[in-house]
Amino acid sequence: MKKLIALLTIAGIMTFGLNSIVLAQDAAQSAQTTVGMQSDDAAQTTFHETIKEKFIEGGPEFMGIVLLTLIFGLAIAIERIIYLTLSATNTKKLLAEIDGALKSGGIEKAKDICRETRGPVASIFYQGLLRYDQGVDEVEKSIVAYGSVITGRLESGVSWISLFIALAPMLGFMGTVIGMIQAFDDIAAAGDISPQIVATGIKVALLTTVFGLIVAMILQIFYNYIISKIDSLVNDMEDTSISFMDMINKYAKK
């Protein structure tokens, strides 16, 4: 289910991105045919149209790659957010239900409660209850071991977001270097240092840098939110596991 959601998200974002590129190309061609328009008409250009126009001016080679880092980074971030949101559990209610189940129906009824409850906390408790016959110590070991597995699942894919955060500005800086090289090549070919000659190369250099930094900042916001969400879930799991073990110890002493 998670992979399906991720694929659908990627497909939707890529479709939107490609559509934006096509629209941007149309806007750029249209802008070239309307160079002689009055300044008041130019002032009516929307922010979205300006972004698309600057994207095309920055050059498809590096701007397209930077856009791909944004697309894939957002796809992973959205998938993680959905997964983490679905992983949240009302732990107080779950503990109360398990406590009542232990008092009224024993371990088997507590297992049923955990099976019917969604989320990693219930899964951890279920793994512990499966080993109750082996002793309370084995229950605790199982909870610790399976908790580490669940934590790894929660953090899955987060490293890719951090990779895209680092990659986007580096690609922008690479575009800057190539743009400056292009500007110096134009100067050498013309034998003159005039603003008109170097303007194109410098514009490419600045635009790729700006877009790379924007992409990194957007993904950084999502990354920090995901990390805080993971920390909250892990802390909740640890606190709840302590209360769960107290219940098991009390039940075992009866």
Residue 57 pLDDT: 60
pLDDT digits (tens, 9 = 90+) for 161-217: 999 999 988 888 887 777 777 777 777 777 766 666 666 667 767 788 888 899 999
User: What confidence tier does 116 reach under pLDDT thresholds 50, 70, 90?
Assistant: confident
Residue 43 pLDDT: 44
pTM of the model: 0.73
Least confident span in 27-31, 68-72, 134-138, 143-147: 27-31
pLDDT over 50 at 70, yes or no: yes
pLDDT over 60 at 230, yes or no: yes
Choice between 161 and 251, residue whose per-residue pLDDT is larger: 161
Residue 24 pLDDT: 45
Buried b / exposed e across 28-61, counting CB within 10 Å, b at 16+? eeebeeeeeeeeeeeeeeeeeeeebbbbbebbee
pLDDT over 70 at 48, yes or no: no
Yes or no: say if 91 and 121 are a contact pair by the CB < 8 Å rule. yes
Residue 26 pLDDT: 47
Residue 76 pLDDT: 93
Yes or no: say if 233 and 87 are a contact pair by the CB < 8 Å rule. yes
Residue 107 pLDDT: 87
Residue 161 pLDDT: 93
* Number of neighbours of residue 206 by Cβ within 10 angstroms: 17
- The tokens for 25 are 């190309």
pLDDT over 60 at 238, yes or no: yes
User: What confidence tier does 227 reach under pLDDT thresholds 50, 70, 90?
Assistant: very high
pLDDT over 80 at 91, yes or no: yes
